[in-house]
Amino acid sequence: MQKIELEIVALSHSITQSNSYAVILGELGGLRRLPIVIGGFEAQAIAVALENMHPSRPLTHDLMKNFMTAFDIALQEVYICDLQEGIFYSKLVCFTANDTIEIDSRTSDALALAVRFGCPIYVNADILEQAGIENEGGEKERSPISAQNIQPDSENDLSKLSLSELNTLLNEVLEQEDYIRAIDIRDEIAKRNEQKKS
């Protein structure tokens, strides 16, 4: 059974299912992409880790990582091992001093943990052949993870807000633990500050 290594190349709002998101996994050294539909909570958990944001309290996946680390359990790899009726099945391959254990996991949760542990993500070659799509643009490079892609509709057009209003809004969304929106606002603030320097 051949394994192919993947990396997260994009997160976006799902166009096929409302209130869902898609995580796009790209083949390392190849052109194929594997889109997987995930829920909003899991999309936020992945985005927070990719953007190196630090919530005031641990999210569920942070708690899981802290628990595993406290008991000297390392996440060695995530393996997307099966696809049945459009549902991807994954395993967490965990390593302890005495044993290697495979734990059944939802793929979205497995990916959120993979980002936190910095471990590789693998897929069964047959699954990539069956559900993967060829990247038509021929780009091999990682696409930027954009909070705008995750946020389906911005409640406010951030470009119309002043820098002071953006900072106030950022504090509000952080208090509400809306980290997806916070990434978007933080990026707009950074862009404005960069424009001031030029």
The string of pLDDT tens digits covering residues 7-42 is 999 887 765 556 678 899 999 988 899 999 898 888
pLDDT digits (tens, 9 = 90+) for 84-122: 988 999 999 999 999 999 999 999 999 999 999 999 999
Distance CA 23, CA 14 (A): 9
Threshold 0.75, pTM exceeds: no
The pLDDT of residue 171 is above 80: no
What is the sign of the dihedral through the CA atoms of 122, 59, 48 and 133?
positive
Q: Is the pLDDT of residue 144 over 80?
A: no
Q: Structure tokens of 36?
A: 């997987």
How many Cβ atoms sit within 10 Å of the Cβ of residue 123? 28
Q: pLDDT value at position 81?
A: 97
Which phi and psi (to 5°) does residue 26 adopt?
-110, 145
- Where are the domain boundaries for CATH 3.10.690.10 in the chain? 3-150
Tally of CA atoms within 13 A in the half-sphere of 23 that contains its CB: 24
Q: Does the domain made of 3-150 have the CATH classification 3.10.690.10? A: yes
Model pLDDT, residue 147: 39
